[in-house]
Structures are given as C-alpha cells and as structure tokens.
Amino acid sequence: MAEQPPQGVIPQRPLPIHPLVDETGSIVYQVPMDLLLEHWKRLSTSQREATARRLALSLPSGFVFDSIQSFSPAASDVAYFTYEERVFALIPGGEFTLGFDAERHWNPTQDELESWQATAKEYGFSESIHEHIIATTLRPRRVGLAPFLIETAARELGWHSVSADDPEIQSQIKKYKNTKKLTLCRGGGTTRIEKKDDGSVIVEQSLTRTHAELAEQLRGSGFRFPTSDEWEFACGCGEPTLFRWGDHAPCDRYPLDFGPKRVRPTGTLEASKEGFAPDWDRHVNPNGFGLSIASNPYFFELVAETGTTRGGDGGCTLCGGYGFFVGWLTLATAYFEEHSCKHDPAEPISPGYTVGRRVLELR
C-alpha cells in the first residue's frame, strides 16, 4: 500500500502543463492545468481549496491562503490570499476574448437612448449610440493570459504620510475644527487632512511621480501593475457584456450621484437634507472575482503599459456634464478613449485621481 501523507499536508504532484496561444497561434505561456479557468470551474470547492493551499506553498514569504468565496451566483469560487493585510484574488489563466463586439446583439433602453440623443443634440454629435460605443471601446481580440494574483482593491497613488505637528497644519485644523476633511494647496503641492472619529489626524502630501517611476518601484518589491489585457479580463470576468455588471446602467443619474441631491427623470433636481441612499449600486459592489473595480469615473487606474490607464476618464465626462449615458460609459469594461486613457509617460500622475493595484505573476 502506498504511503499516505501526514494529516493536514497537501501532497505534491506533477501538474499537467497546458500551452496558451495568442491570435497567431504562437505559444505565449505554459500553464499548470489546475490554474486554467476552464479546469478551475470543473473542480469542487474542496478541490479548489486544495489547489489554492498548494499554490500558497510556492508564493513569496508573507502570502497566506485566506479563503474560497463566491461573489456571484453565476461565478466560480475564487481563491483569496492575504499579504501585509491586503487581499489578493487568484485569477486563473486561459485563452479569452476581450473587447466589445460591435456585432453582438445590444439594444439601448429607452432611457439610455434618450440620454444619448440629448447629448448628441447639445454637443453636435452625428453618430448613433452604437457608433459612439464602438468609437470609445476596444475591439474584440483573442488573448492568452497566465494566471496571476491581483489586489481586490486599488489604492490611491502619489501620496505619502507626514506628521500632523506642522504649525500650519495645526493652524488649519483649529481653524476648521468642525470639518473632517481638508485639502490645502501650497508650494505647488497638495496636503490632505482627515480627522478620524477617534480623534486621530491623518495628513498626506502629494508626491511628484511618473507612471514609469511607480512601475519601477513596484518591480523592486516583486510586483507589477496588471497589463491592460489582464485588467480588462479581471474587470469583466471574461463576460461579453458592455459593463462588468451587465449591458445597461440607470440614466437618471451619474455613477456618483448619491448625496443631498439627485436628478429626477424629468431632469429637475430633488433635494434632501438627509441625503439619498443609493438604490442602484451594482457598480460599487464587487465583481465576480470579488474585485472593487471600474466604479468611480474620477479614477485613472494605472496598468503595466506606461502612459496607459483603464477604468475611468478622471471625471472629465462628469465634470463636463456630457450626459448620463456617456458618464456611465467610462466604466464600461472595454472603455478606451485615447484622450482619456493615453498619457504622456514623462508627465507626473495626478494625485487624487490616480489609483493602482499590485499583481503577482504566477509563471
């Protein structure tokens, strides 16, 4: 009889290797079968946990297997790991189709169509709503992606913590004693002050950093930003829908229109001293991989390609009042307008508008 492994120890075994190919048929990665999405979906929850625990043994020091969870009835279980109190999700590899398919059956709701027609009339756009979507999204392409770990939440970039003992900061805290959040612009930089309920004060100052500098800093710690394709797959979970949550969005508001005022369907403002609770929150809920992603149009999210961002337009569309539908469109999985998603690599990032998340390669 074969010797059995000690209780609680996951037996090591050679895993079949599967080649991933790109659109040309060239092999781009060799991936263990257990970490392919198609195979992962066929495993039971206990088998997924065993695979994740086995993977944890080969991860860099500090990574710990956390749990297997599911964030959507239609999604497979996701394996989560922790590292320095941050949560990472396992994204299995495979060959996937990304981009918005112009030939796919998609019809706007009446609200979406009316919103677009109002935008087109005000700004003199001649294209149809379908033509506008095609012009502002990436076209379908077949990609091979190796499995990777990705942070479930992005962090704001371009800030560093400083002491609250600075006399000018103390002066501002006393001056605005009833204000919880302050923003000071001084000496060409920005200082943020946040007063916590426990009486503590957090002070951050902006840093002058370029995309390339931040990417190099990540590489030095063993991480990197996700590639644009990895980001898109992780955002949409491989689904062909326009948005990561489905094909449509409410067109009586912008994504961040929750607070003391909201726009009624007639276009008039309705006010409330208590504020309005969000009655549509699919964009702020985690996606099928458990990621908080593509939820705030004001954020540019950095990817591995220097000078490229995904997941928003920095709030340009919302600030410009271009209309509800195009405001939501900046959160589309395949959204990519050149003027919003391509940047001068030599220019510093915009603190307060730039976020990023770490990726750990599993090759």
Predicted pLDDT at 22: 64
pLDDT of residue 182 exceeding 90, the answer is: no
pLDDT score of 274: 57
Tokens at 149, concatenated: 């770990």
Q: Can you tell me the mean pLDDT for 39-53? A: 93
Question: Does residue 74 have a pLDDT over 90?
Answer: no
Summarize pLDDT for 117-147 with one digit per residue, the tens: 999 999 999 999 999 999 999 999 999 899 9
Question: Which of 160-169, 294-303, 351-360 shows the lowest mean pLDDT across its residues?
Answer: 160-169
User: What is the pLDDT at residue 286?
Assistant: 93
Give tens-digit pLDDT for 302-313.
Answer: 999 999 999 999
Q: Is the pLDDT of residue 359 over 60?
A: yes
Burial-class residue 101 by CB neighbours within 10 Å (0-12, 13-18, 19+). Answer: middle
Could you tell me what percent of the chain has a pLDDT over 90?
A: 64
E-assigned strand segments in the chain? 17-21, 27-32, 64-69, 78-83, 86-91, 94-98, 141-145, 148-151, 155-156, 159-162, 181-186, 189-195, 201-206, 261-263, 269-271, 300-302, 309-310, 354-356, 359-361
Domain residue limits, the chain: 95-156+209-361, 159-206
3-state SS, residue 237: coil
The mean pLDDT of the chain is 87
pLDDT score, position 264: 47
- Quick check: 20 pLDDT over 80? no
Torsion-angle region of residue 294: left (phi > 0), alpha (psi -120 to 50) or beta? left
The tokens of 295 are what? 């939820």
Strand partners, 202: 194
